[in-house]
Amino acid sequence: MIVEYKTMELYGRMLFEKVILIPPFKKNNPMSNEACFLYIMDGEYNSLSEKEQMRIRANEAVLMKCGRYLSQMYASGDSKRYEAVAVHFYPDILKKIYNDKLPAFLKKGIANTKSMARVNSDLLIHKYIEGILFYFENPGLVNEEILILKTKEIILLLHQTKNAPAIHAILANLFNPVSYSFREVIEAHIYSPVTIRELARLTHMSLSSFKREFKKIYNHSPAVYLKDKKLARARELLSASGLRVSDIAFDCGFNDVAHFSKSFKQKYSLTPTQYRLTHFNKSLSRSE
């Protein structure tokens, strides 16, 4: 449930965005001709692109270049809400505010397949976000010049951030998306907590077309194939690691422990706990 949603626009486009919501919350997040810097103030954010997954926690940030994303928002610790600020970048607006003379680090550089980069939240980034929040609370003070300055400021801060190499690679390829094959997208998200419909979106397909293509390549329906792969990995972890059953469930892409336990028993005739009791020592003895 969305509690608060505010935006600030420049040249008719949403430039800054602030949201407070009650998680969990999911949304499809296509960015075909834009990029985004997202700072999490409360809760956690799980971003999935065609090939990657990144979990961002409170007081952390991520820079995402153009592409297709699935956004998943979660609560964290004692907090029951999710709060974040986003800055959106558009190629036409950047060219306009820089008078068609983009900084060198914003121009296409070495080929880079990464779609996301984690941004270390240092003092300057933190103070920048405080400034943006001030303008959200005082919209009467906002004008075109302020918005242009704040856009240039965050780009300069990103350019100078501690993990500069990864950030530079993203900045230099903000608007150069990478294409991935159907199989590459599937293999990257077998253990991700995504639905079949969400996978279809990541592959740029309708649900029906996705199912047909999946069956042609894997000779199984996506529901059966993906569930079997998740359960097989869970079985390996139960017999070879000391992770808690709940952690194994989430690591293998199950959002609900009870559903995981039921599915596991249907597949292997034992609950996850029972399977561990009968197989864990055997696995250890084989590895010695």
pLDDT band with cut points at 50, 70 and 90 for residue 284: very low
d(Cα 258, Cα 246) in Å, to the nearest integer?
9
- What percent of the chain has a predicted confidence (pLDDT) above 90? 65
pTM for this predicted structure: 0.83
Q: What is the DSSP string of 105-123?
A: GGS--S-----EEEE---H
The pLDDT score that the predictor gives to residue 108 is 63
Please state which of the four CATH numbers 3.50.50.60, 3.40.33.10, 2.60.120.10, 1.10.10.60 is assigned to the domain occupying 182-287: 1.10.10.60
Domain regions of the chain by residue span: 2-171, 182-287
Residue 41, pLDDT > 90, answer yes
Q: Which residue has the tokens 């561990």?
A: 276
264, 271 in Cβ contact below 8 A?
yes
Virtual CA dihedral for 60, 65, 69, 72, nearest 10 degrees?
A: 10
In terms of pLDDT, which residue wins out, 114 or 211?
A: 211
Sign, CA dihedral 142-122-23-65, equals positive
Same fold, 2-171 and 182-287: no
Per the prediction, the chain carries an average pLDDT of: 89
The pLDDT score that the predictor gives to residue 14 is 96
CATH of the domain spanning 2-171: 2.60.120.10
d(Cα 266, Cα 189) in Å, to the nearest integer?
23
